[in-house]
A and B are shown apart, each in its own frame.
Chain A
């Protein structure tokens, strides 16, 4: 047992000695940084912070959607292009060659159906996985995000969930402050797209609606070597003839510069440009089905082309999706959850303090120990404001970190303090190293155990694993060694 000394206030030389260890300094910096990052304050008489709450701690809806498409590998003696052409005759679906001998089929077929189709097309199916390529998944993410932004949804997150093989099977959408029925409507809803042509001044005339667009390409260059980006889109026959008539009637074919073409999505002009002289000349003679809208050169042009592609699709996704899972938490419940989590946390911290005090009976050990433990949580919360939102699983992880954290502080304390006394500096150093060795092994074990969860798409368990890993790293790397130094300075005479 350590006997309390009379007046154990830390004098300035001890404080200085504490600050000579880099871990202590780094820990203090992180604590201050975390408080700033969390930013607790009163706003309009209500207590607020910068903590980002995820599902269950915030009103909102999550939707997990499954792609009705598959990535398949194939073998054939034909050329890839030939094979794809054959296959397209068999299947009524968009088929893309995403890499050598790998196809993305944008429609759902069971494996058996595809095996039969592949055989009749002159090849063989070698692998089958439901989902889409990463690129397609990113397109879908972009489309959904632009749709959600356009609707002014205040807090929306869209995350494609990819497997180890790089195929994305699911995409998860989280919408704060939106009910389940609303969320499904937003995700499923298509915008109203139309093409108009300027007549005189700012007056425009309707030419054709978006339902006449049969396909939209991905951003591409106008022709090889040309730096200009743009998007190709195709009208159906009737649409093409409406477009031709409209262009002639408004005078756009004779004087393109005076009669700009506008693309309008939900009453907003998203693209405006004149007809090119070649197109104007062709339209004088015949209807044109395939059109190319250019957006300019360089990165700017590419970004504009990507957006235009989304607009041309009017929010329709290139691949059908089906809802695989969904959930809704009402505001009353999420506020209640938050309150209870906070209470549970405080009560748990008090319980830890009580047990530690019961064991050591020495405030000079108990206070730094509990203080270090709470600092770890504070730093973790601070870091999480940047990378991870807190959901219930995240709270569970915080508790796990608190539990293993205090465990390891006990290991350090018992290892270095023999019979409650601080040994000579060299022996102390040896023992601290040994204690940190024990901690390091158990930390490495926990991290390795959590890595698969952090990498896999087990939705809510991912947050749990990330917070646990972060907590262990902060604890082992910084705060627990810092505690080892601080306790030495405090207790040494």
Chain B
């Protein structure tokens, strides 16, 4: 495949690991800064923060909409193509919400309304965090059982972790909120990430042959895997963008970033660590 002219054997382990580590540190700094200033590493959507979101199609300007809903705690009006508008409301009581829902349904019969109570959002947030932690612990156990060797297992886990952290930092830079669907997308990255990492580790550790050959062989296979997935997700991204389906577009954007970071983490971080590990053990 001629698209990527990277020679996985050209650089020393230290050089390979350098760039991803710098990006990882910057990403952790971004998430840490967000956490320190807002209490959340990535800006939460209404799924986690609570509130009401309304998606509707209207030729009214945001100002007109703001005036029309001045009786409710309207926080912001976002605009998409095809006159799509995305209204976010702060918390309100049940009677108010009922009135809002009735009036929106009457004026815009094709509006989509979602409402999450603040405490429910809090619960979802905690549960998502717990799920993520348990997922990582479970993943670590499986990988350690499979390789029974600390460095290679740790490398796989570090790569999955780095993929998610870097992608989360990218989300926060381009302004994609953390919602249930984008959390799902971040978790999908675990699957994509471990695939190529495990392929690399298995090929290098469990096969006979020269290290350089095994690395370039694994790279050849791995890069097709990721480009194939990338192509599928990019297609989904383009369709969702053209059709203005925010949810799918957000999932696809998160995945595209994640896959780019995955290529870097697999073929720089993980390949660098495994190369160092084999060389140190006296392999060729």
Tell me the A residues contacting B by CB distance below 8 Å.
Answer: 56, 64, 66, 169-170, 179-181, 184, 322-333, 336-337, 340-341, 343-345, 347-352, 354-356, 358-359, 392-393, 395-397, 399-400, 402-404, 406-408, 410-411, 414-415, 434, 437-438, 441-442, 444-446, 448-453, 456-461, 464, 468, 472
Task: Check A453–B187 contact: CB distance below 8 A.
Answer: yes
Task: Check A410–B105 contact: CB distance below 8 A.
Answer: no
Q: A residues within 8 A CB of B191?
A: 400, 403-404, 442, 445-446, 449, 468, 472
A341, A396, A408: residue with the most chain B Cβ atoms closer than 10 Å: A396
Determine the distance from Cα of A458 to Cα of B146 in the docked complex, in whole angstroms. 30
Task: Check B184–A410 contact: CB distance below 8 A.
Answer: no
Min distance, Cβ A111 to any Cβ of chain B, angstroms: 14
Task: Check A403–B224 contact: CB distance below 8 A.
Answer: no
Q: B residues within 8 A CB of A323?
A: 94, 97, 115, 117
Determine the distance from Cα of A457 to Cα of B127 in the docked complex, in whole angstroms. 8
Q: B residues within 8 A CB of A458?
A: 124, 127-128, 131, 180
- Whether B166 is near chain A, meaning CB under 8 Å from some CB there, is no
Determine the distance from Cα of A215 to Cα of B134 in the docked complex, in whole angstroms. 44
Within 8 A of A (CB), among B110-145: 110-117, 119-121, 123-124, 127-128, 130-131, 134-136, 138-139, 141-143
- Whether B96 is near chain A, meaning CB under 8 Å from some CB there, is no
B98, B231, B239: residue with the most chain A Cβ atoms closer than 10 Å: B231
* Extra inter-chain contacts (4) besides given A347-B238, A407-B192, CB under 8 Å: A169-B123, A180-B101, A326-B114, A406-B232
Task: Check B251–A396 contact: CB distance below 8 A.
Answer: yes
| 25 interchain pairs, CB-CB under 8 A | A66-B119, A181-B102, A325-B114, A325-B115, A325-B117, A329-B112, A348-B236, A359-B224, A395-B248, A396-B251, A399-B236, A400-B188, A403-B188, A403-B232, A410-B221, A414-B220, A414-B224, A438-B199, A446-B190, A446-B194, A448-B138, A449-B139, A456-B127, A459-B124, A461-B184
- Whether B68 is near chain A, meaning CB under 8 Å from some CB there, is no
Among all A-B residue pairs, the 10 with the closest Cβ atoms: A448-B138, A324-B120, A327-B114, A351-B231, A351-B235, A452-B134, A344-B239, A449-B135, A407-B225, A348-B232
Tell me the B residues contacting A by CB distance below 8 Å.
Answer: 1, 55, 94, 97-98, 101-102, 105, 109-117, 119-121, 123-124, 127-128, 130-131, 134-136, 138-139, 141-143, 146, 180-181, 183-185, 187-188, 190-192, 194-196, 198-199, 202, 206-207, 217, 220-221, 224-229, 231-236, 238-240, 243, 245, 247-248, 251
Min distance, Cβ A449 to any Cβ of chain B, angstroms: 4
Task: Check B206–A434 contact: CB distance below 8 A.
Answer: yes
Q: A residues within 8 A CB of B120?
A: 64, 66, 170, 324-325
Complex: chain A residue closest to B118, CB-CB? A324
Task: Check B235–A393 contact: CB distance below 8 A.
Answer: no
Task: Check A410–B135 contact: CB distance below 8 A.
Answer: no
- Known A327-B114, A442-B195; judge A344-B240 contact (CB<8 A): yes
Q: A residues within 8 A CB of B229?
A: 403-404, 406-407
Min distance, Cβ A491 to any Cβ of chain B, angstroms: 17
B123, B184, B190: residue with the most chain A Cβ atoms closer than 10 Å: B184
Q: A residues within 8 A CB of B105?
A: 179-181, 328
Task: Check A399–B232 contact: CB distance below 8 A.
Answer: yes
Task: Check A456–B130 contact: CB distance below 8 A.
Answer: yes
Task: Check B224–A355 contact: CB distance below 8 A.
Answer: yes
